A and B are shown apart, each in its own frame.
Chain A
Amino acid sequence: MPPQKYKVTYIEDTGKSHTVEVAEGWSLMEGAVKHLVPGIDADCGGACACATCQVYVAPEWQDKLPPKGEMEDTMLDFAPDTRPSSRLSCQIRMSPALDGIVLNLPKSQH
């Protein structure tokens, strides 16, 4: 049975919005890359090694996310233009609880 898919909205720095469907278990980074959403580089392909897949999570969704791992937390410490709502999208897996999540993208990942 193919995995269930849920909606994610990625909003570019320019305001352009992309609502796409992401399979359960896939990372929100993979969801963006798979649907050609610009603004997520993901150089390392999701190994939490490059910090080029940063997103800003809309306030109403922040509590629904699993807490940051130590590696993600420290990678974000050194990423450009971070905010309290910053997460690395490669570390967040799609789940039913995240159906409809809204993510804002930074101007640049470098």
Chain B
Amino acid sequence: MPENIVIIGAGQAGQQAVQSLRSEGFKGAITMVGDEDYPPYQRPPLSKAYLLGSFERPRLFLKPDSFYAEAGCELLLSTSAKAIHRADRTVELTDGRLLAYDKLLLATGARVRKLKCPGADLPGIHYLKTIADVDGLQAVFQAGKRIAIVGGGYIGLEVAAVGAKRGLDVTVFEAMDRLMARAVSPQLSAFYAAEHEKAGVKLKLNTGVEGFEGGAKVERIKAGGQTYEADIVLVGIGVIPCQELAEAAGLACTDGIVVDQNARTSDPHIWSAGDCTRHTGREGQEIRLECVQNAIDQAKHAALSMTGKPKTYSEVPWFWSDQYDLKLQIAGLARPTDRLVQRGEPASRKFAVFHLRDGVVAAVEAVNAAPEYLVGKKMIAEGKRVAAETLADTAIPMKQMG
């Protein structure tokens, strides 16, 4: 009898799994459960072109609806899973239905981390993760409005860039001493700080948020011992993996659903992929990756393993961010102890920072510099040893180094 696969979570990883299961020859039934009202869609444009209004909603969807029908995947939207009964191999939905599975994929993603300070539940405080979130923000995102952005990470800064472009009065509050501190080198942080200030964005670094005040909606933000007026607040302070179902079912979870290099959890019938997972990275470290690359690649590896063709997941992580006309592309995972090598001048708005670890390229951050990004990514995958002087020498084309 053909097997039955259930996927919980209808995001990028879930969609990729459906596609890969079919391309790997899986013939059984597939059911995908998603708690949002929409079929799987791209999240990256939400804080960029979609918020700007230059990218309409139908373009967000990863596949047309006919894809799921043609792939023989039953899509249960606006539907939540309540529990996994591992002994019976069933998933219980909140509406009481039971879905039997032979193999289960948890692609539950992550949810936004919420602020817990006084006033944090006032209307007018927005988060950004879903289409519904952006539609809610969009309604008030108007020229002349004062927006206070809490968190100077990717989401906060992408919204800041769109806000500046749309004529909002933008202030970013960041608790750390530099922007995108978790994601990029100090050089990049400094460069992006200057770009945002040039666009009129006010940056408040080393400024933790203490609370919000207002009546019917938020009117003021208290941060760093001062009070600032605000019409809108957008909070982007990271995400938390959605692991409750897995945890309640007794699967190993440590700030993420623990999976092996085939995306398999501690239960041999259950796999997991995407933002919700924690896995051993290619350098042997325990990591949780929140990115499109991991959603796609881990889902592909889950599908390979589920169809009996396991392959070790060791792809180089990659990320991107669009702010103004700057395309930031990052490959690999940096460490604070890496030796940093700059190639090109930030003033030219086209440069890269390479991270060398024991002489080997471990990560690259490229701003408007596709060759540095692409060759850098290849070098990371190959564990290539390159002299710092060579990398820094813009007279030597990247292509010659690859």
Contacts and interface: CB of A to CB of B under 8 A. Distances in A.
A47 B378 CA distance: 20
Contact of A49 (B45, B67, B329, B375): B329
Interface stretch (A9-17, A57-65, A69-77): A69-77
B102 to A, nearest CB: 27
Contacts of B292: 43-45
B64 interface: yes
Interface in A35-94: 35-36, 43-45, 47-51, 71, 74-75, 77-78
B64 A49 contact: no
Interface in B56-84: 59, 62-64, 66-67, 70
A109 to B, nearest CB: 12
A81 B64 CA distance: 29
A26 interface: yes
A74 B329 CA distance: 13
Nearest to B42: A45
A78 B59 contact: no
A11 to B, nearest CB: 20
A33 B371 CA distance: 26
Contacts of A36: 63-64, 66-67, 70
A35 B375 contact: no
A17 B320 CA distance: 33
Contacts of B67: 36
Contacts of B45: 45
Given A30-B59, A47-B320, A51-B374, A71 B327 contact: yes
A77 B59 contact: no
For the complex, would chain A's binding face be called helix, strand, loop or mixed by DSSP majority?
Answer: loop
Interface residues of B, number: 26
Taking each of B42, B59, B371, which has the highest tally of chain A beta carbons within 10 Å of its own beta carbon? Answer: B59
Contacts of A44: 44, 292, 320
A107 interface: no
A77 B374 CA distance: 9
Nearest to A73: B370
B70 A26 contact: no
Interface string B367-402: 010110011001000000000000000000001001
Interface string A15-35: 000000000001000100111
B29 to A, nearest CB: 20
Nearest to B60: A45
Interface of A: 26, 30, 33-36, 43-45, 47-51, 71, 74-75, 77-78
17 contacts: A30-B59, A33-B63, A36-B66, A36-B70, A43-B293, A45-B44, A47-B320, A47-B322, A49-B318, A49-B320, A49-B327, A49-B329, A71-B327, A71-B370, A77-B371, A77-B399, A78-B371
Closest 9 CB pairs of A and B: A74-B370, A78-B374, A45-B42, A49-B320, A74-B371, A75-B370, A71-B370, A34-B64, A43-B296
